[in-house]
Structure 1
Amino acid sequence: MTLKAMLRSTVAAAAVVASVLLTGAAATPSPTPTPPIPDDPADPVRALEYWLDGAGIREAWQTTRGEGVTIAVIDTGIGKVPAAFGDAVVAGIDVSGSGSPDGRTPVGTIDPDHGSLVASVAAGRGKADGTGMIGVAPEAKLLSVSIGFGAAAVVPFADQIAEGIRWAVDNGADIINMSLTTNTLDWDESWDDAFLYAYEHDVVVVVAAGNRGSGTSMVGAPATIPGVLTVGGVDQTGTASVDASTQGITIGISAPSEGLIGVTADGELTPWRGTSGAAPIVAGAAALVRAAHPELDAANVINRIIKTAIQVPGVTEVPDPLYGYGLLDASAAVSASVPLVDENPMGDLAEWIRLYRRADSEPAPAPEVTPVEVDPLPAPEAPTEAGSPLLPSAESLRYGTLPLIVLTVPGILVGLGVTAAARRIRSARNARQQPD
């Protein structure tokens, strides 16, 4: 068990003891209800935040507002907007090589406001009179990790993510939000250790699924990494968004991704869309769950979110490639009774690494070979003395000279006899042919 989980367990145990002392019987610990947050639903800005009611966030505020939980936003940097964030941002860093050391200077030229928009949705403070943009967990703390994309980064992107995750973990993050994608299924091997580092330190990692409108037809890394809570997007009716979301078997939960609003790095309120906004809604909900149930580890926080999701009509099997386990219900995630789990329902990265990276695979055992006994070879014959190559040996006489004589002499005798006979015949013929 990690130190963070031990501390949460201690808090939960103290609640049980207090309950026993007061009632004389053990009871399930429950968080102390908090006073209603200053909130004016009639405010035009709050009225635009339809997810506050649609995702059960206002109801969850009756229990907790995220106090004591820290959300790290790994993005383009959270702008210094006192009205939006107040003292919410407690620390920051730049890992792109282009921003300021505190991670608060927006990085990049294409969408430098992105990090501020994400942070405002997750933990924007709102105004004291209950008006203005407010985040899902308005009492949670924020960490700003500024990263750069493409030409805006001096440091390679994979290195930025790995360093950003480790820094966030080391600086107290309970939840990490990553509203980004690589549009590829695979990821750099350096991310293996970085994400494992987060899991080993009991951190919930929430990532965006990506958007078709931005060219992402299927979820890409980091949404494909086992163990992360991947967020798909829906419109105001709860229907999977066509352009402001994508699909994939790793989607765990869905949240609004259309008709969103957020605060820019300059403090301006602006409309936006995409799973980049759906992810911080879920990250904020995870902060509410962690605040309400400090005894739970990251796996059970994720499990409460997906197991209490609102089922989508017509979806018969979960997880669904469009909706995951369903639509976010922050109130149920905070208050419902959900059995505990022993493993992260979104997968085991360590096991994936073992199977596919083979980093922890054991070497193949050496084959056992039974020795075979072989009869000894016969002793070599003693060498013979070498003779002159000009003199015949016994072997050459036996197998060469004698057979040659046997075959040659009769032939010579026959030849001589034939020659003698021929001479006699010739002499007799010559005698008969002489004149009288």
Structure 2
Amino acid sequence: MNRSTRLTRSERTRRSGRNGRARGSAFVVRAAATLAAATMLTLTGAGAAHADLVRDYEYWLADYGFTTAWNTTKGEGVTVAVIDTGVNGNVAELRGAVVGGTDVSGLGTPDGQTPVGDDETHGTMVAGLLAGRGTGEGSGVIGTAPEADLLAVSVAFGQDTGAAKSNDDQIAEAVRWAVDNGADVINMSLTRNTPDWPESWDDAFMYAFEHDVVIVAAAGNRGSGTSQVGAPATIPGVLTVAGVDKDKNASLDASSQGISIAVAAPSEDLVGVLPDGSHVQWDGTSGAAPIVTGLVALIRSEYPDLDAANVINRLIETADPNGQTVPSALYGYGLIDPVAALESDVPHVDENPLGSLADWITLHRRAEVEAPDESSVDQPIVPMADPPLPRSDGALTLLPTQWTLAYITVPLSLVAGFGTLAALLGIGATRHTKRTVRIREQ
């Protein structure tokens, strides 16, 4: 879910670095709702310097205590399914991480590693934040659970992808496949953009919950049009992740707010690896979700006998409320705290603290089936009400865009010199805005 260009700013400049050295600069100009600017950073000099630059962008590793948590576990023995646009396990950071996969769209390859759909880079970026191995000591993108195993489940979203199955059917099949193939956790950085979901998802998600699988979903990004949290993040029992900025404040654009939020994690100034091995800086709860999914993997690794309900409870009970009464619509139960999640004494629970999908189905689906025939009874006269919101047409997308992910980035200029950082400004034509910062090694 790459966050669209901030709607509250027309220009943003980024200058930061250790020892006073510039790490890069980005100018993001929002000309209209259909235009976005992207910035490429070119670093000249030794490859080691480039590698340090990439790892330095992962501020959450130290700021949230992941590097300390790794003294306890790095996620070994846990299998995580990434239901997304495909994960290229051949990039340096993901070599050895992807142990299985499949394609449910009819467009990809049987191993789920060929990018498909309108946003082919998305799945690999998500996977890197979750279980990236890095490219050496202190270099490359490393995930929050760098020793967890990945299952790549490729899905193709968008209006005209040519997928053999509907978006909803792909998700239902993907969830079942992940469960049947040993997933302990499932990451879903995607949304229907509406809170409702099809009945086929009832069965698929119940299947996951009955097999003790934790499902993590991204909340969405207000800045790109996802004004409300949408399914699967609204499904009871799902661990929904909101986003915060580098100062741990709720993100205005790279997050959505709602009562189904469970926890919050970084969603701004993230770094990702693309299927071609290059790196980008990006925003969105599509990135916050795998950061949290990695923490779930750490908990499952350290406490292999804990069921899903108690894994979730351990995560939310140890979260930092960030000064809020919990649960809040901004942070849920709070900011994730990896060290506390692994080391604290947490009481046992008998049920998923995030709700029961089984109870929801009993209450809501049965009510739909057993609704009386209103034509057979006299109806009272009532004041005219606002028309109901339209139900979803089943279009499912990867955040941040609604209804389509298509975008074009057109390079305009590139100026490079020895020992300097050069910026490439591009204008993208899209239904929504998108910003990335590409880091290129030279």
TM-score, normalised via structure 2 length: 0.70
**Which residue does 1:77 correspond to in 2?**
86
**Distance of 1:131 and 1:195 partners within structure 2:** 37
Task: For residue 43 of structure 1, give the secondary structure of its aligned residue in structure 2.
Answer: helix
**Which residue does 2:96 correspond to in 1?**
87
> In the TM superposition, what is the alpha-carbon distance from 1:47 to its structure 2 partner?
1.7
Pairs within 5 Å for 1:146-161: 146-150=154-158, 151-152=160-161, 153-161=163-171
Instruction: Report if aligned partners of 2:52, 2:139 keep a CA contact under 8 Å in 1.
Output: yes
1:268 aligns with 2:278: yes
1:285 aligns with 2:308: no
1:182 aligns with 2:192: yes
**Which residue does 1:45 correspond to in 2?**
54
**Which residue does 1:378 correspond to in 2?**
none
**Which residue does 2:228 correspond to in 1?**
218
Pairs within 5 Å for 1:219-368: 219-313=229-323, 315=324, 317-358=325-366
Note the aligned Cα RMSD (angstroms).
1.9
Q: Percent of pairs identical after alignment?
A: 64
Greater Cα shift, 134-143 or 51-60: 51-60
**Distance of 1:114 and 1:331 partners within structure 2:** 29
Instruction: Report if aligned partners of 2:316, 2:333 keep a CA contact under 8 Å in 1.
Output: yes
1:48 aligned partner, one-letter code: Y
Deviation per residue, 1:42-62 (Å, 9 max, x gap): 933222101101222111101
1:55 aligns with 2:64: yes
Instruction: Report if aligned partners of 1:71, 1:287 keep a CA contact under 8 Å in 2.
Output: yes
**Which residue does 2:216 correspond to in 1?**
206
* Higher Cα Rg, which structure: 1
**Distance of 2:219 and 2:257 partners within structure 1:** 7
Instruction: Report if aligned partners of 1:84, 1:126 keep a CA contact under 8 Å in 2.
Output: yes
1:171 aligns with 2:181: yes
Pairs within 5 Å for 1:381-396: none
Instruction: Report if aligned partners of 1:85, 1:120 keep a CA contact under 8 Å in 2.
Output: yes
Q: Which runs of 5+ in 1 are unaligned?
A: 1-39, 363-436
Task: For residue 154 of structure 1, give the secondary structure of its aligned residue in structure 2.
Answer: coil
Q: 2:128 aligns with which of 102, 120, 129?
A: 120
**Which residue does 2:21 correspond to in 1?**
none
Task: For residue 254 of structure 1, give the secondary structure of its aligned residue in structure 2.
Answer: strand
1:338 aligned partner, one-letter code: V
2:279 aligned partner, one-letter code: L
**Which residue does 2:153 correspond to in 1?**
145
Which structure carries more strand by proportion?
A: 2
**Distance of 2:368 and 2:261 partners within structure 1:** 28
Deviation per residue, 1:343-374 (Å, 9 max, x gap): 10110000110111129999xxxxxxxxxxxx
Distance 1:202 1:359, change over 3 A: farther
Task: For residue 167 of structure 1, give the secondary structure of its aligned residue in structure 2.
Answer: helix
Which structure carries more helix by proportion?
A: 1
**Which residue does 2:116 correspond to in 1?**
107
1:130 aligns with 2:138: yes
Deviation per residue, 1:148-192 (Å, 9 max, x gap): 112223310110000000000000000000000111010000000
Pairs within 5 Å for 1:10-49: 43-49=52-58
Pairs within 5 Å for 1:391-402: none
> In the TM superposition, what is the alpha-carbon distance from 1:86 to its structure 2 partner?
1.2
> In the TM superposition, what is the alpha-carbon distance from 1:82 to its structure 2 partner?
4.0
Q: Which runs of 5+ in 2 are unaligned?
A: 1-48, 371-442
Question: Number of residue pairs matched?
Answer: 321
Structure 1 runs of 4+ with >6 Å offset: 359-362
Higher relative contact order (Cα pairs below 8 Å, separated by 6+ residues): 2
2:67 aligned partner, one-letter code: R
Task: For residue 358 of structure 1, give the secondary structure of its aligned residue in structure 2.
Answer: helix
Instruction: Report if aligned partners of 1:353, 1:359 keep a CA contact under 8 Å in 2.
Output: no
Deviation per residue, 1:255-306 (Å, 9 max, x gap): 0000000111111111111000000000000000000111100111111111
Q: 2:76 aligns with which of 62, 67, 70?
A: 67
1:87 aligned partner, one-letter code: G
Distance 1:359 1:77, change over 3 A: farther
Instruction: Report if aligned partners of 1:245, 1:275 keep a CA contact under 8 Å in 2.
Output: yes
Instruction: Report if aligned partners of 1:354, 1:360 keep a CA contact under 8 Å in 2.
Output: no
1:227 aligned partner, one-letter code: G
> In the TM superposition, what is the alpha-carbon distance from 1:128 to its structure 2 partner?
3.3
Greater Cα shift, 219-228 or 95-104: 95-104
**Distance of 1:129 and 1:352 partners within structure 2:** 48
Task: For residue 106 of structure 2, give the secondary structure of its aligned residue in structure 1.
Answer: coil
